[in-house]
Structures are given as structure tokens and as C-alpha cells.
Amino acid sequence: MVNRVLVTGLGVVSPLGTGVEPFWANLTAGVSGAGPITRFDATAFSTRFAAEVKDFDPLRYIDKKEARHMDRFTQFALVAANMALADAGLDLEKTDRDRVGVILGSGIGGIETLEEQHKVLLNKGPGRISPFFIPMMIANMGAGQIAIAHRLRGCNVTTTSACASSNNAVGDACRILQRGQADVMITGGSEAPITPMAVAGFCAMKALSTRNDQPQQASRPFDAGRDGFVIGEGAGILILETEAHALARGARIYAEVTGYGTSCDAYHITASDPEGGGAALAMSLALLDAGLSPADIDYINAHGTSTPLGDRSETTAIKHVFGTAAARLAVSSTKSMTGHLLGAAGGVESVACVLAIDRGVIPPTINYEQPDPECDLDYVPNCARVAPVRAALNNSFGFGGHNATLVFKKYER
């Protein structure tokens, strides 16, 4: 028997706010989280803005000594996980900790720690490197610290598949629960890539928007004037439980995870397949896994990064999978507001999908002003839409051609 998997808790640290309610209020109001970079001096950079998490003080949530030994991405992960656990009302003292696991996605991990310690090495020598350097930097430490904080002894894994990392994490966590290898999984993703090296690298690739005089208007997925993505940071965490476990404890149920599809473009190290073949395969596999037809999907949270090729390719893929049904679909990119959180994008966007189902509101694609003839779907332009969402599909596509699609559905006993 395959267990059904339910979403019972949500936690968010994002450029639109820390906590589910501030995040959702700003997301549905069409607020942009982009602004000038404050985390370092970006004067010499071709892109000088990002979607930063604002007013985040880890000491409000984490013991000072422990926080000092965590990279920023780990702090985000732990804070969002704690919020999700509280939201789920899960009493871990009454839960078998051997059957609670963590699968977290992160594309880059502790790059801020890496850069800081490299400066120490160059300026002060190897003897001054922090003994916490390695455990702060490695990408698995977000998942590790969540487990340590709550003494969770179940499966603990980190997925790294670039911008598909979080969707792969949620999908893999779902599989663990379906097979009966755990009762509860904490999953999603975290990323803190607004650092000199990371931003310089994306600038060198010419992947970022250069609208330095209009940062809040820079992320414009599917708009004809799009010129690149806006880098963001944060974490999105979901608590997943088997149906039996959730019902036995009387949990609040947001939605059900019903489908997971993953594929590879096998095309290019950074560019997506212009024909959208790999993306279409991931969506088709997710629908097949969910036992749903294209007509059953009401909303797609698109990967929609605001790059010329990527948005066009995803539109082509959606048309290939959904055929004539594509015209009636609501398709929006919340990256227009949050920026692109890289490996954490799927976690935050999964939270958005679940809330769209739970609350019957579809977030908009802001900054949509000039239609692109090659991107001609209903992108929910500029204003949120009140509409029932029975099932939502979440796309995440990453460098290396990694594709991961999730299907969330309104839960019915």
C-alpha cells in the first residue's frame, strides 16, 4: 500500500517577510522584495541589487553561541523549520523521533562562510582558519542542524540539483513517506547566495537583470522587456506527514502532495532546452504520478525566472503538456516578487502553491507590462486572483538541465 502524503505545517523566511502571514500578505499584494544590495559594497558590480531577507536577526530565534556557528543559509533553514513545526502543532515529545526525517535542498550551501574564511587564509594564514569553517560551509548542515536541534534520528539528506534542489527534496521526502519509511518529514530548501563571489559569478554569466535604477521592476517574468533574474535568499519549509499519522493526531491539513516528476534536459550546462523537452517530461511524469489529467490542474507556479530563453522555453513546455487546456490555466511566477532563491526557490514556491489551494487566491506575476508574442499564456498579470484551486503544479528547473515538478492537491478523505 502506498501512503498518502499530507502537508500539515509551513514556515518561510523570505524577502517578503519572515513567517507565513507576512509572506502571503505581501505575495498576494504584489509587493516586490528587491532593492539595493546592503550585505556588501556592490558599487563595482554590473548588478547592484537583490532580493534580500530584511531585518533578519538570528538571535531572535537561535541561541547566540549556536547562531555564531551557523552560516546564514543554515540560520534561515532552522528558523523556517521551527516555524513550520510550530504551525503543524507537532508535539515531538509524543512522536517517534526515529521516524521523523529531514530532506533539504540547497544549491550553494555556506558560500558566505567560504568567502569569509578564504579572506582569513589570505590575510592571516592557515592557523587562523575557524575550526567551525567546514561544518558551517557544507551544504548538508542545514538539514543536519534541524535534526540536531530537535533530536530527529530519521532519514537526513540534502539534495543539490541547482535551482531544482528544493523540489527534488520535497519529492524525495514524499517518496520516503509513501513507502512507509517515516511518519513525518521536514523538507524544502534554504539558500543565502547574496555574497560578492556569487553575485559576481552570475554577473559574469550575464544572467542577472541590470535595471539598477529600477530594482523593484527588474524581475518581470514572461514580459517582453525581461533582461535576467534577480537573485534572492531565504528558506521555505513544509511539514509532510503520512495520512494515518496526521489524522491520528488531528492535524490541520493544508493540502496533499500527489505527484512528483523529475528529468534532465541533457542539453547544456546553463541554457534550458528551447523546445522545453525536459521540462515537459517532468510535468508529464508528475501528472502521471498524481493520477491527474491536464484538465485537473488549475494553477501552475512557474519556474519563470525572468530570463529571455528560460521563460520562453517553459511556456513551450506547458503548451506541449497541456495542449488546448494551456489557454485556460492560471500561470504565475512568484519570482517576480521574491527574486530567484536558487536552491531554495522550490521550497518557497511550494509554500505558495499550498496556500493558493488552502486560501483560494492565486498570486500574481508583477511587472507584466509588455506581452511577449512567444509567451502567450495567462500569467495572472500584476494582481492576485481569487479563484478556487483544486490542484496546483510547481515547476523548478536548474543549471545542468535538472527539472523537478510537484503536484499539490486539495485534500479529500
Number of helical (H) and strand (E) elements in the chain, helices listed first: 13, 15
User: What's the CA gap between 267 and 265, in Å, rounded?
Assistant: 5
Residue 93 lies in a domain: yes
Considering the domain architecture, whether residues 47 and 82 belong to the same structural domain is answered as yes
pLDDT of 179: 98
C-alpha cell of residue 251: 492535524
- DSSP three-state, residue 13: strand
Same domain for 42 and 21: yes
pLDDT at 20: 98
Per-residue pLDDT of the chain (413 residues; tens, 9 = 90+): 799 999 999 999 999 999 999 999 999 999 999 999 999 999 999 999 999 999 899 999 999 999 999 999 999 999 999 999 999 999 999 999 999 999 999 999 999 999 999 999 999 999 999 999 999 999 999 999 999 999 999 999 999 999 999 999 999 999 999 999 999 999 999 999 999 999 999 999 999 999 999 999 999 999 999 999 999 999 999 999 999 999 999 999 999 999 999 999 999 999 999 999 999 999 999 999 999 999 999 999 999 999 999 999 999 999 999 999 999 999 999 999 999 999 999 999 999 999 999 999 999 999 999 999 999 999 999 999 999 999 999 999 999 999 999 999 999 98
Same structural domain for residues 283 and 393?
Answer: yes
Taking only the tens place, the pLDDT of each residue in 221-233 is 999 999 999 999 9
Rounded Cα–Cα distance for residues 340 and 311 (Å): 13
CATH number of the domain enclosing 160 = 3.40.47.10
Q: Which residues pair with residue 191 across a beta bridge?
A: 234
Residues 240 and 288 in one domain: no
Q: What is the pLDDT of residue 63?
A: 93
At which of 248, 280, 310 does a domain end?
248
* Domain boundary residue, one of 248, 280, 309: 248
218, 248, 278: which is the final residue of a domain? Answer: 248
Q: Domain range spanning residue 87? A: 5-248
Catalytic site residue from 155, 163, 174, 203: 163
- Whether 244 and 264 map to the same domain: the answer is no
pLDDT, position 351? 98
- Residue 261 has what pLDDT? 98
What's the domain count of the chain?
A: 2
End-to-end C-alpha distance for the chain, whole angstroms = 16
- Domain contains 269: yes
Tell me what pLDDT residue 1 has.
Answer: 78
Q: Are 236 and 265 found together in one domain?
A: no
* 173 burial level (CB within 10 Å; 0-12, 13-18, 19+): buried
Q: Is the pTM of this model over 0.75?
A: yes
Quick check: is 163 catalytic? yes
Asked whether residue 253 is domain-assigned, the answer is no
Which pLDDT tens digit goes with each residue over 319-369?
999 999 999 999 999 999 999 999 999 999 999 999 999 999 999 999 999
